[in-house]
Amino acid sequence: MSTIGSDRELRLAASALPPAGEIRMVELGRHRIGLFRVGDEVHALADRCPHRGAPLCSAGDVVTGIERRPDGRLELGPAGALVRCPWHKWDFDIASGECVVEPRLRVRRYPVRHDGDDVVVSLDGGLDRP
C-alpha cells in the first residue's frame, strides 16, 4: 500500500484489503486504523474502544450477532457485522460504529471511498468528530 497526495489519506489496492471476517491494521499519521470488510463495503475504525480505551481493532474480533426472533427462535445477524472489544467484550457495529450494548458510545469511523480498484481512507470529511 502507499500514501498518495497528502499525509491525510492512505490509498490501498484491493489486494491489501482484508477478507470478510478479518481485520487489517494500517497507520495514517498518528492514527491506528482497523480496516474491515462487511459484505461489499469497506469500513475503517479507530483502534480505540470508546469505553475504556482498549485496542478495539488490533486485538478485537469480528463476530456475528446472535438475536432472538419474536417467535423465540434464535438467528444470526448480518455476517461479520460486529467487532468485539478484546477487554470487556462489548460489541460494536462496524458500519455505524455504534456500541450494541451502550448506544451512547460510538467508535470513531474514518471516511472510505473507492477510486477505481483502489480504496482511499481519509482523515478528513470525518464521519464522526473526535
Q: Which of 1, 16, 59, 79 binds another protein (CB under 8 A)?
A: 59
How far is the CA of 100 from the CAs of 35, 53, 76, 95, 97, in angstroms? 19, 17, 15, 12, 9
Specify the residue, 65 or 111, whose C-beta has the smaller distance to another protein. 65
Specify the residue, 18 or 87, whose C-beta has the smaller distance to another protein. 87
Say how many C-beta atoms besides its own lie within 10 A of residue 88's C-beta: 11
Q: Does 128 bind another protein (CB under 8 A)?
A: no
Q: What is the three-class DSSP state of 121?
A: strand
The letter for the amino acid at 77 is: G
Specify the residue, 98 or 118, whose C-beta has the smaller distance to another protein. 98
Q: Does 24 bind another protein (CB under 8 A)?
A: no
Distance CA 23, CA 44 (A): 10
Tell me which residues in 67-106 interact with another protein (CB under 8 A).
Answer: 84, 86-89
Which residues of this chain interact with another protein, rule CB under 8 A?
A: 52-55, 58-61, 84, 86-89
